[in-house]
Amino acid sequence: MKDYKGKIKSVKKISIDAYELLIQSDLENAISGQFISILCPNTTLRRPFSIAGFDKETKTLKILIKLKGDGTNYLKTLKENDEINFLAPLGNGFKIENKKSLLIGAGIGIAPMLFLKDELKNKNIENYLISGFKAQEEMIEGSDKTVIGGSVLDNLDEIIKEKNIEILYSCGPHIVLKLVSQLAKKHNIEAQVAMEKTMACSIGVCRGCIIKINKQGKIENASVCKDGPVFYGDEVIWE
Amino acid sequence: MGIEKLKTVLKNKNRSLTLKTPIISASGTYGYSDEYEDFIDLNCFGAISTKGITLEKRLGNDGDRIFEVKGGMINRIGLENVGIEKFIETKLPILRKKKIDFLLNIAGSTSQDYEKLALIAQKNNIEAIEVNVSCPNVKSGCLEFGLNPNSLYDLTSKIRKNYDGFLIVKLSPNTSDIKALATAVEEAGADCISAINTLRGLGIKLDWVGKKFIKKSVQGGLSGACIKPVALYMVNQIKEAVKIPIIAMGGIEKLQDLFEFISVGADAFQIGTANFINPSICSNLAKELNEFMIKNEIKDFEELKEVIKND
Ligand SMILES: Cc1cc2nc3c(=O)[nH]c(=O)nc-3n(C[C@H](O)[C@H](O)[C@H](O)COP(=O)(O)OP(=O)(O)OC[C@H]3O[C@@H](n4cnc5c(N)ncnc54)[C@H](O)[C@@H]3O)c2cc1C
Ligand SMILES: Cc1cc2nc3c(=O)[nH]c(=O)nc-3n(C[C@H](O)[C@H](O)[C@H](O)COP(=O)(O)O)c2cc1C
């Protein structure tokens, strides 16, 4: 973990309120589920974003941002060759297993799923990415199946059975991750979920982004930024 | 790098504490020991004030703990920490091995807690402790001590009896009479005062979803650039009341802030929230201060203080 100077290669609008940023830096390694934390001049704290893709050869990483407040609205104004400072690579990513994988992205939660899909493809692991968006105009491309309007969860039972899915990976709102974890339990398969929580230091010291997990029968605190953001669905104590 | 110039001696008539530089990382923002090692030059680092440590391990508060505001943040961590035993067992050896100077920041909910912690510090030859009597984030406990001069005097005296090292008491700004608190602490035998802890604050966010507002609120301690004017005021008041040295904090982010705090009586500094923005800030500030002094032919930190105070 280090702080990096990144050079913006491009900023592209990909939906009504989301942008793709390509950033070149000296960062050598990253895996899906890990994130970076960007310094924005108009906010107090840094802003965390999942790594949505990484090209080792050109040392270029991709992030997808959905517009929310001051931080994301600053980031969308960046231009080619602008410099940004970010901490990376942060947190623990997905632990890829050689199993038939179902990837579930809800909304902007698709970001780390796209990177995971790249990695699975490189490893020749069979996978299927389903993503869900509230409306057509919010849709981000790259999935095997996209659900607009309804719930991405409605389709999962069927897909799991049909495709003999052996593991679930997911990122999205808290409630989606909770339901994905319950679904995994029902089908007796593993789920890995990438969580979000407002954070301050982003390296595990301030204890600001704590969730409760169950470690061998004992309830413990875990930080989303350092112990996560990826957790096993069955270890999280869901609120 | 020659940072001899920044050598800082905090002293009163009984004891002194020598630091490599006057820049200390503030409690709760830096972990326990070497967590920030990737980012800082340990040679430029005065000391770390550890996360507030209690007798028993604490899991802290449930729910949201961080809320960002303009120029700062509100936290309600609730003193999550590993407890003194585990600290001594697992963190102290790292600090010792890597020769990282530190202040052991302690907190309790009864006077006995503090006395026991002081005794443990004494037994383990811990050179300096910083007593948090002012944490706004725990329901029972330290806040009451921190806001009443009589109970603060009692508490400090009791800790003093059990602990012979350099005793720093950290004051709360959530009071109408900081001078009375500072005086009580000095009279009870503390060697140094640090100030300020966080201010009480409430962050509210209302989102209009569907046909109603969804409200999120976080009540806790406000820190960061936005509290600097309060901190300057408080340090100035403390300086008027006592002779023991003062470690100043509250919104420090840049070289100019150090000068401003010196002008109201600071003898050293702590950096808190700014570490979250720039994890190298503690060593960067030391380097900048050093360069400023070289360029302007200021012999040492003592002379810098004189120069600022006499202008
Ligand atoms: C590990 C992690 C990965 C993330 N990955 C992505 C991603 O790939 N793409 C994306 O668009 N967003 C992602 N988010 C959410 C993103 O960090 C927030 O949307 C962003 O910080 C909002 O900043 P703002 O200033 O625009 O909004 P504001 O609403 O003004 O932010 C106010 C405060 O709340 C915090 N905050 C707001 N929403 C969130 C949230 N959902 N999670 C955590 N903190 C939040 C901000 O960091 C800030 O401190 C991720 C969050 C985490 C924790
Ligand atoms: C996340 C966080 C945790 C903190 N935890 C402690 C603590 O455990 N003990 C303590 O004495 N002060 C604690 N503080 C207060 C800081 O040490 C400092 O007094 C305060 O933040 C003001 O300085 P700043 O504006 O530079 O952050 C904490 C502050 C923050 C932001």
Q: What is the mean pLDDT of residues A132-156?
A: 93
Categorize the per-residue pLDDT at A193 as very low, low, confident or very high, splitting at 50, 70 and 90: very high
ipTM at complex level: 0.93
Which tokens hold the place of B23? 């820049």
Does pLDDT of A76 surpass 90? yes
Q: B157: part of which helix (H) or strand (E)? A: helix B149-162
For the residues of A166-219, what is the DSSP string, one character each? -EEEEES-HHHHHHHHHHHHHTT-EEEEE-----SSSSSSS--SEEEEEETTEE
Does pLDDT of B311 surpass 70? no
Q: Atom 5 of ligand 2 has which residue's CA nearest to it?
A: B28
The values of phi and psi at residue B5, to 5°, are: -55, -30
Does pLDDT of B187 surpass 60? yes
Q: What is the pLDDT of residues B4-58, one digit of tens each?
A: 889 999 999 899 999 999 999 999 999 998 888 888 888 888 999 999 999 999 9
The values of phi and psi at residue B180, to 5°, are: -65, -40
pTM score: 0.95
What is the spatial order of strands in the sheet that A60-66 belongs to?
A: A47-50, A35-38, A83-90, A2-15, A18-24, A60-66, A53-55
* Distance from the Cα of residue A127 to its chain's centroid: 17
pLDDT given at position B139: 55
Please give the share of chain A, as a percent, with pLDDT higher than 70.
100
Q: CA-CA distance, B245 to B166, in Å (whole number)?
A: 11
Q: What is the mean pLDDT of residues B137-152?
A: 72
Q: CA-CA distance, B282 to B44, in Å (whole number)?
A: 8
By CA distance, what is B224's nearest residue in A? A44
Q: What is the mean pLDDT of residues A41-46?
A: 94
Please give the share of chain A, as a percent, with pLDDT higher than 90.
95
Rg of chain A taking only CA atoms, in angstroms? 17
Alpha helices in B171-280 (DSSP H): 178-187, 228-241, 255-263, 274-277
Please give the share of chain B, as a percent, with pLDDT higher than 90.
85
C-alpha separations of A57 from A25, A104, B234 in Å: 11, 28, 54
Ligand 2 neighbour B46 (Cβ under 6 A): no
Omega cis (within 30) before B196? yes
Contact list, B68 vs chain A (CB under 8 Å): 43-45, 198
> What is the crossing angle of helices B178-187 and B228-241, to 10°?
50
For the residues of B251-280, what is the DSSP string, one character each? S--SHHHHHHHHHTT-SEEEE-THHHH-TT
Q: Which fold is adopted by the domain B4-310? A: TIM Barrel (3.20.20)
Contact list, A44 vs chain B (CB under 8 Å): 68-73, 224-225, 273, 277
Q: CA-CA distance, A11 to A112, in Å (whole number)?
A: 18
pLDDT given at position B308: 94
CA atoms within 13 A on the CB side of B26: 27
Contact list, B273 vs chain A (CB under 8 Å): 44, 200
Q: Give the mean pLDDT of chain A.
A: 96
Q: Report whether A63 contacts A49 (CB < 8 A).
A: yes
pLDDT given at position A69: 95
Ligand 1 neighbour A35 (Cβ under 6 A): yes
Q: What is the pLDDT of residues B208-220, one digit of tens each?
A: 988 999 999 999 9
Q: Residue B153 C-alpha to ligand 1 middle, in angstroms?
A: 45
Omega cis (within 30) before A229? yes
Q: Give the mean pLDDT of chain B.
A: 93
Q: What is the pLDDT of residues A94-133, one digit of tens each?
A: 999 999 999 999 999 999 999 999 999 999 999 999 999 9
pLDDT given at position B257: 98
By CA distance, what is B277's nearest residue in A? A45
Q: CA-CA distance, B257 to B267, in Å (whole number)?
A: 13
Q: What is the mean pLDDT of residues B266-288?
A: 96
Beta-carbon separation of B273 and A44 below 8 A = yes
pLDDT given at position B53: 97
Categorize the per-residue pLDDT at A239 as very low, low, confident or very high, splitting at 50, 70 and 90: confident
Q: Residue A82 C-alpha to ligand 2 middle, in angstroms?
A: 33
Q: Is B135 a catalytic residue?
A: yes
**Identity of residue B134:** S
User: In angstroms, how far is the first alpha carbon of chain A from the final one?
Assistant: 31
**How many inter-chain contacts (A to B, CB under 8 Å) are there?**
79
Q: Atom 36 of ligand 1 has which residue's CA nearest to it?
A: A198
Q: Which of B135, B142, B192, B282 is catalytic?
A: B135
Q: Report whether B43 contacts B31 (CB < 8 A).
A: no
User: Does residue A104 sit in helix, strand or coil?
Assistant: strand
Lowest mean pLDDT across A126-135, B144-153, B163-172, B188-197: B144-153
Does pLDDT of B142 surpass 60? no
User: Does residue B44 sit in helix, strand or coil?
Assistant: helix
> What is the crossing angle of helices B149-162 and B111-123, to 10°?
30
Beta-carbon separation of B68 and A201 below 8 A = no
- Nearest Cα to Cα of residue A13 among A116, A102, A137, A123: A137
Task: Please give the residue that has the higher pLDDT: either B141 or A161.
Answer: A161
User: Does residue A18 sit in helix, strand or coil?
Assistant: strand
Categorize the per-residue pLDDT at A203 as very low, low, confident or very high, splitting at 50, 70 and 90: very high
Q: Report whether B137 contacts B75 (CB < 8 A).
A: yes
- Nearest Cα to Cα of residue B289 among B311, B258, B266: B258
Contact list, B94 vs chain A (CB under 8 Å): none
By CA distance, what is B276's nearest residue in A? A201
Q: Residue B295 C-alpha to ligand 2 middle, in angstroms?
A: 33
**Which atom, in ligand 2's list, is nearest to the CA of A207?**
1
What is the spatial order of strands in the sheet that A190-194 belongs to?
A: A145-148, A127-133, A101-106, A167-171, A190-194, A230-232
